[in-house]
Amino acid sequence: MPKNPDSPNLKQSVPVDLPGGRKAKIYVYDNGEVGFHLTDGPWVLSQCFLPGDGQPAEIRLSPGKQGSGAYSNWFEGRMKKINAAES
């Protein structure tokens, strides 16, 4: 299939090894776009800061059960550890 002439050209692809054997790849395009490829989902958008005005942007993705329920997931996991230690 022919390439869409409006699509940006890939300028650079940077592989990154993540904890737990997961992998990420960051794609940089000639028009300034940035893309991400992540293995072993699910991933949850846990933070997105897109301020504009020359400020740096930050996008944070959390693996699995984290994200908006991160504290409750931590608390649940912590209680399981405590209960297992008491048994």
CA-only gyration radius of the chain, Å: 19
Dump pLDDT digits (tens) for 22-71. Answer: 899 999 999 999 999 998 877 877 789 999 888 999 998 887 665 456 55
pTM to 2 decimal places: 0.62
Q: Are the beta carbons of 37 and 24 closer than 8 angstroms?
A: yes
Q: Are the beta carbons of 59 and 42 closer than 8 angstroms?
A: no
Q: What is the pLDDT of residue 58?
A: 93
Domain ranges for the chain, please list them. 10-86
